[in-house]
Amino acid sequence: MSFWEYANPRRFMAFTDRVMGPAFVLAAVALSVGLVWGFFFTPDDFRQGSTVKIIYLHVPSAFMAINIWVMMLVTSLIWLIRRHHVSALAAKAAAPVGVTMTLIALMTGAIWGQPMWGTFWAWDPRLTSFLILFLFYLGYMALWSAIEDPDTAADLTSVLCLVGSVFAFLSRYAVNFWNQGLHQGASLSMDAEENISDVFWFPLLVCLAGFFFLFLALVLLRTRTEIRKRRAHAITLRERAA
Amino acid sequence: MKGLKKQRRIQVIVVAFAALVASFGMFYIAAPDALQFFRSPSEVAETPPPPDEVFRIGGLVADGTLVRGQGETITFSVTDGGAIIPVSYTGVLPDLFGEGEGMVGTGRYIDGVFQASEILARHDETYMPSEVIDALKAQGVYQEPNG
């Protein structure tokens, strides 16, 4: 069976019906284990004290904010090339989840920055490109609701998603080439064991898994809702015509 | 996109991607000098900005230079391994500020002294429990990170 058969709405609904429940359960388990472990059972950092604990929210939400845009980029490209409606609806469904993650990352970053850096906000390259990504999310959602025809809306939002991906990648890689910025290097890199002590790293991994499964469950739920809305709309049109 | 055949759609997307990669590349090329968040002490020592220019300076607080004077005024030197620039500042310092730590200051360079109006601490990506550091220090094997 080919992967593309899930582009059939009926197949997609049947498959996700089985996947969604376990995803919610995994999200709940991983988030409660990871956050409780991180907040109550980890020691204080040697310079930051207990303020370090905000990484259990900040790092996973920022990670997801960027990766959700990349997921929207992939589904938008599938829509543009193969014209699968489910793919376009998945991108539409992911945006509100993504914007929430971006907002969580911005707010936790500000709360961490005030005592640590001495400021809530600085026009550092990484922070700025992340703020632009947040604005792109808002614009993306606004564009979806501004256009009545669903196919035109899917086309135009897909193009917007292509453009916005520049800032998604910039906010991830900004620290690599703007080394004279305020934000520290990536907490999540392949050599992370050297930077982050294991006692902080393991609960962080659990939180990352929790955020990922939460996103998966929410995006499936929202995509299913969008598909049902399309069906309801089609039925209304048919009844009106009859 | 609506009226186009699949092959033409792919062509359009490839062209769009090339444009986006080019714009990303322009950020990459422009980043080192055009979009600097702060200047290093070496850059300031080489080409000292005029006293009326407000800019940011960033580097490490040099060991043994931090002096808390009368009132709230403090002085220290900032270094990047090359040049050393003295800094004077009046105000509250962030938690992470200290000798050997990174900092970014906003202010003017007047008569060889950087008069800061705002000081931010810079944090590197090392996270370690304080107990581990205390143990390492007790054994005498702890080395200050050069972040």
Could you tell me which residue, A118 or A61, shows the higher pLDDT? A61
Q: How confident is the model over A192-221, as pLDDT tens digits?
A: 445 677 788 889 999 999 999 999 999 999
- Beta strands B55-61 and B102-110 are antiparallel
Confidence of residue A147 (pLDDT cuts 50, 70, 90): very high
Q: How far is CA A135 from the centre of its chain?
A: 14
Q: Does A195 touch chain B (CB under 8 A)?
A: yes
- The structural domain count of chain A equals 1
Q: Is B38–A55 a contact, with Cβ atoms under 8 angstroms apart?
A: no
Whole-angstrom Cα distance, residue A26 to residue A40? 21
Helix (H) or strand (E) holding A45: none
CATH code for position B57: 2.40.50.140
User: Is pLDDT at A191 greater than 70 in this prediction?
Assistant: no
Give the nearest chain B residue to A48 (CA atoms). B96
Q: Which of A128, A134, A114, A241 is nearest to A181 (CA)?
A: A128
- Provide the H-helix boundaries in chain A: 9-40, 55-82, 85-116, 125-146, 150-177, 192-195, 198-241
CA angle B80, B83, B85 (to 5 degrees): 95
- Mean pLDDT score across all residues of chain A: 89
The reply to whether A5 falls in a domain is no
ipTM, two decimals, is 0.75
Q: Which of B119, B127, B131 has its CB closest to that of A200?
A: B127
Q: Which of A126, A151, A158, A182 to mutate to test the interface with B (most CBs of B within 10 A)?
A: A182
Whole-angstrom Cα distance, residue A234 to residue A67? 33
- pLDDT value, residue B147: 38
- The structural domain count of chain B equals 2
Share of chain A above pLDDT 70, in %: 92
The reply to whether B76 falls in a domain is yes
The reply to whether A104 falls in a domain is yes
Q: Does A40 touch chain B (CB under 8 A)?
A: no
Question: Looking at the structure, do residues B53 and B6 belong to the same domain, yes or no?
Answer: no
Confidence of residue A7 (pLDDT cuts 50, 70, 90): confident
The reply to whether B145 falls in a domain is no
- pLDDT value, residue A119: 86
Q: Phi and psi dihedrals of A184, rounded to 5?
A: -70, 170
Which B residues in the span 80-109 are in contact with A, Cβ-Cβ below 8 Å? 92-97, 101, 104
Question: Looking at the structure, do residues B117 and B55 belong to the same domain, yes or no?
Answer: yes
Q: Is the dihedral of CA A68, A162, A172, A133 positive or negative?
A: negative
Question: Looking at the structure, do residues B18 and B76 belong to the same domain, yes or no?
Answer: no
Sequence letter at residue B61: V
The reply to whether A14 falls in a domain is no
- pLDDT value, residue A47: 73
The reply to whether A84 falls in a domain is yes
Question: Looking at the structure, do residues B95 and B131 belong to the same domain, yes or no?
Answer: yes
User: Is pLDDT at A182 greater than 70 in this prediction?
Assistant: yes
Across residues A99-114, what is the average pLDDT? 94
The reply to whether B11 falls in a domain is yes
Question: Looking at the structure, do residues B68 and B80 belong to the same domain, yes or no?
Answer: yes
Question: Looking at the structure, do residues B120 and B102 belong to the same domain, yes or no?
Answer: yes
The reply to whether A205 falls in a domain is yes
- pLDDT value, residue A187: 63
The reply to whether A4 falls in a domain is no
Question: Looking at the structure, do residues B56 and B93 belong to the same domain, yes or no?
Answer: yes
Question: Looking at the structure, do residues B75 and B89 belong to the same domain, yes or no?
Answer: yes
Sequence letter at residue A13: M
Please report how many Cα atoms fall inside a 13 Å half-sphere around the Cα of residue A93, on the Cβ side: 22
Confidence of residue A232 (pLDDT cuts 50, 70, 90): very high
Question: Looking at the structure, do residues B10 and B75 belong to the same domain, yes or no?
Answer: no
Q: Which of B98, B147, B143, B141 is nearest to B126 (CA)?
A: B147
Burial of B143 by CB count in 10 Å (0-12 exposed, 13-18 middle, 19+ buried)?
exposed
Q: Which of B9, B120, B134 has its CB closest to that of A122?
A: B120
The reply to whether A126 falls in a domain is yes
- pLDDT value, residue B125: 65
The reply to whether B99 falls in a domain is yes
Q: Which of A40, A71, A70, A72 is nearest to A56 (CA)?
A: A40
- pLDDT value, residue B146: 45
The reply to whether B144 falls in a domain is no
Q: Which domain holds residue B12?
A: 2-32
Query: How would you write the pLDDT of chain B (147 residues) with one tens digit per residue?
Result: 777 888 888 898 999 989 999 988 887 777 666 667 888 888 888 888 888 888 899 888 888 888 887 777 889 999 888 888 999 998 888 878 888 888 889 999 988 899 999 888 887 767 777 766 676 666 666 655 543
Give the nearest chain B residue to A42 (CA atoms). B129
Chain A residues whose beta carbon lies within 8 Å of the beta carbon of residue B31: 125, 177-178
Question: Looking at the structure, do residues B57 and B13 belong to the same domain, yes or no?
Answer: no
Global pTM reads: 0.86
Q: Which domain holds residue A30?
A: 19-241
Contact between A97 and A242 (Cβ < 8 Å) = no
- Report chain B's terminal Cα–Cα distance, integer Å: 50
The reply to whether A63 falls in a domain is yes
Question: Looking at the structure, do residues B76 and B97 belong to the same domain, yes or no?
Answer: yes
Q: How confident is the model over A13-63, as pLDDT tens digits?
A: 999 999 999 999 999 999 999 999 988 888 877 777 778 888 899 999 999
Lowest mean pLDDT among A7-11, A121-125, B132-136: B132-136
Question: Looking at the structure, do residues B28 and B40 belong to the same domain, yes or no?
Answer: no
Q: What pairs with residue A165 in β-bridges?
A: none
